[in-house]
Structure 1
Amino acid sequence: MREFMIIFKQAFTTKAKTKSFIITTSIMIAAVFLFANMEKIIDTVKGATGGDKDSAEVLQVLDESGVLAERLKMQLESNESGIKVELSSKSENALTEQVKEGEIDSFVTLGLDDTNTIQANYISMSAMDFSLPMMLEEALKSIQTEMKAEELSLSGEQVQTLFAPIQFEQQSVSPSAKSQEELSQARGLVYVLMFLIYFAVIVYSSMIATEVAAEKSSRVMEILISSVSPVKHMFAKVLGIGSLGLLQMVLLGLAGYIALKTTGSEMADGFFSVFGFSNMNVGTLVYALVFFLLGYFLFATLAALLGSLVSRTEDVQQIIMPMTLLIVAGFMIAATGLGNPEMAYIKYASFFPFFAPLVMFLRVGMLELPVWEPLLSIAIMLVTIFLLGFFGARVYRGGVLMYGPSRSLKDIKKAIQLGKE
């Protein structure tokens, strides 16, 4: 046990003290605070450069009808759009030249056809200008409705009855379904936690494989296995780096929570509301932790096995490519299930041990599942981890003694034979 703890502490502290880990963690925490305070930063930059977030955007209007410009101005003011309408006396060609030369950003021509229907043409330099045209279109639709109502001598109350929304509710009789409101809240939370699980598993598993290969390439492994068994060495590495990964995830989670809570901005409140953090389900967090740990140990054991087959860190990415593809496939399957987690292939994939950390967590977070389903998935993962650990220990025992250009999974058989000797 003493040797196990020594290697555990060495794996944890060595990686924790590296410049790459400290810098990466610091950058990620800084990015979290930067994102949370983005609104304040933008306002500060606008103030420093002379911009004012309350200043109105000027829109040049060429009104051929003689009546629409004033109506548009009143409509935009009532919507508090921040757009200032200016009636232009210039021709359309002259305004187009001003747009090309950058003197004005855009303009709109307004007119009425024979049926008293609004004809609008919005011209700007950029084809990616979406916000202003959409607001103009909505405002002009409202004006068109008012004009048609006047033609038909309809009162304001009568117009409102024409556009009164229907009462529509969606219910599901499936025993595993949540309400639409619960599903919307759970979707954001599940996606965020699912991405963290995916990120942690793929990063820290790769880190373990690289660490094992680095010790082999420096011949440190020969000294280590003379005083401690390769099996203890493997699991101490897995637990040490896993603890470091969990610590990093906790630090990022605390940083994100503090950043969003201390900003006090509408964006922070919207983030908590949209992603479901305002009504956080404790059970979902518990399952996130369970599947994070199980997924990590599953892939970390596999990564240690594969890392023991190579003698150079340059070969690590090639040897762990099949494992990486498994993780990516699990994430893609889970991502496709965000829209409909009750699809049959999502259910089947949630019991496949290499997909379960992401796919079963998706189903648990978004559906009301019977307890036996997640428990069965967890049991399958535990059995897989045990079997992979037993098999991996045999491969690891021989793999750490293999040197040379070892880049193929066929070397597993060679490692097992070497471990028996």
Structure 2
Amino acid sequence: MRDFWTIFKQSFWTKAKTKSFVITTLIVVAGIFLMANLSSIISKVQDVGVFGEGVDDHTILVVDKSSSIVTQLQRQLDMSDSGITLKVTTNSNDELEKQITDKEIASFLVLVLSDKDTIQASYISENANTFEIPMTIREALQSVQTNIKANSLELTEEEVSQLFSPIQFEQTAVSASSKSEKELSEARGLVYVLIFVIYFAVFYYSNMIAMEVATEKSSRVMEIIISSVSPVKHMFAKIAGVGTLGLLQISLFGLVGFAALQTTSSDLTSGVFSFFGFANVSISTMIFAIVFFILGYFLYATLAALLGSLVSRTEDVQQILLPMTFLIIIASFVAFSGLGNPQATYVQIASYFPFFTPLVMFLRVGMLDLPVWEPVLGIGILLVTIFILGWFGSRVYRGGVLMYGASQSLKDIKAAIQLGKK
């Protein structure tokens, strides 16, 4: 047992102290804070002015050729709390375009009311990359246009409000396992993020194990190690060491993400958060995410160690891992496609295929109200598969670490098993 913990600590600290691991962790942490506060950053940049200091892109000069639209438009903009201020100008279009070029103003608006009481508007800016302000002005102008048409038809305000009153639409489902539209919205974002985390972690850390084994073989360090430690103990110590490091890193990202969401100015109910539904986090979903992450890691890590033991050059690692890579990619495709229809038959079937279960069964657990036996059955299938793969992998690993020379891909498995018996 002492040998196991020695290799465990060596695998853990060797990777934890590498510059690539530390830099990657810091970049991801910084990225989490950046994404959580992106809306606030954009807002502050817009307050400063994208055209330079002293230029306010929320103050817009207006050429109103009808002399009747600006007042109504400003009223509509104030009602929506847009923060946009309109100022009428008598300058020509050419003069205003020159002011934009000279960075004196950000944009200007030209308003014309046709003989048929139709508003014709032109928003002119330096480039077409700005969407928020033009869209806000367009929506306000549409309201002004509605009022103008209502007046021409002699409609009262009550009649106009009745004309544009929204319908009441509610979506319900007959299936007992289906959640309501609100519950699906609340679960969608968390499930999406956690599926991506599980996919990334399983792929990244499994590759790390295979690369570690191949590196030790290519440097002939493996021959020294297995002279004092059994290959099986070496394999599982490496899997446990890298797995523990992965769990700590993912936990760090989770804590940083939680802290970032707490410091953001958003209440998690508007913008992108309203679509992903981060306001309500289910404890059961988080527990299943941890369970399926751990089981998925051990499943693919065992497979990666098995395959990594067959190559003696780090250059051959990616080639030998192609079958495993395809399995992870296909599983992620099924899971992400199932976000739109988690009750699809192919999603249900795929959730019981062990190499797809960590992603697909977790998707169904997060998006549906499943009976307890379904996720438990998926976990049982994973445990049995891990046990079988561990038993088979240990036999391959025992002989694979002693094999050198050009790899013949999966054909070397038989040779590794035979060598391990000697």
What is the TM-score when the length of structure 2 is the normalising length?
0.91
1-structure distance, mates of 2:357, 2:154:
63
Task: Give CA deviations for 1:132-163 in whole Å, capped at 9, x if unaligned.
Answer: 22112111110111112212222222211111
Query: Is the Cα–Cα contact under 8 Å of residues 197 and 358 in structure 1 kept in the other structure?
Result: yes
- Letter of the 1:315 counterpart: D
- Asked if 1:123 corresponds to 2:124, the answer is yes
What does residue range 391-410 of structure 1 map to in structure 2 within 5 Å? 391-406=392-407, 408-410=409-411
Q: In structure 2, what is the equivalent of residue 359 of structure 1?
A: 360
- Letter of the 1:22 counterpart: V
Q: Specify the SS of the correspondent of 1:127.
A: coil
- Asked if 1:339 corresponds to 2:330, the answer is no
What does residue range 256-275 of structure 1 map to in structure 2 within 5 Å? 256-261=257-262, 263=263, 265-266=265-266, 275=276
Q: In structure 2, what is the equivalent of residue 152 of structure 1?
A: 153
Query: Is the Cα–Cα contact under 8 Å of residues 109 and 122 in structure 1 kept in the other structure?
Result: yes
Q: In structure 1, what is the equivalent of residue 232 of structure 2?
A: 231
Q: In structure 2, what is the equivalent of residue 196 of structure 1?
A: 197
Q: In structure 1, what is the equivalent of residue 7 of structure 2?
A: 7
Query: Is the Cα–Cα contact under 8 Å of residues 57 and 82 in structure 1 kept in the other structure?
Result: yes
Distance 1:46 1:64, change over 3 A: closer
2-structure distance, mates of 1:9, 1:156:
75
Query: Is the Cα–Cα contact under 8 Å of residues 39 and 267 in structure 1 kept in the other structure?
Result: no
**Can you give the 5+ residue segments of structure 2 that lack an aligned partner in the other structure?**
none
1-structure distance, mates of 2:147, 2:402:
83
2-structure distance, mates of 1:240, 1:10:
8
Q: Specify the SS of the correspondent of 1:59.
A: strand
2-structure distance, mates of 1:369, 1:42:
41
- Asked if 1:323 corresponds to 2:324, the answer is yes
Q: Specify the SS of the correspondent of 1:182.
A: helix
What does residue range 12-411 of structure 1 map to in structure 2 within 5 Å? 12-38=12-38, 57-96=58-97, 99=100, 104-261=105-262, 263=263, 265-266=265-266, 275-406=276-407, 408-411=409-412
- Letter of the 1:335 counterpart: F
Query: Is the Cα–Cα contact under 8 Å of residues 213 and 307 in structure 1 kept in the other structure?
Result: yes
Distance 1:285 1:311, change over 3 A: same
What is the TM-score when the length of structure 1 is the normalising length?
0.91
- Letter of the 1:6 counterpart: T
> Sequence identity, in percent?
60
Query: Is the Cα–Cα contact under 8 Å of residues 301 and 392 in structure 1 kept in the other structure?
Result: yes
Shift of 1:221: 1.1
Q: Specify the SS of the correspondent of 2:168.
A: coil
Query: Is the Cα–Cα contact under 8 Å of residues 107 and 124 in structure 2 kept in the other structure?
Result: yes
Query: Is the Cα–Cα contact under 8 Å of residues 315 and 407 in structure 1 kept in the other structure?
Result: no
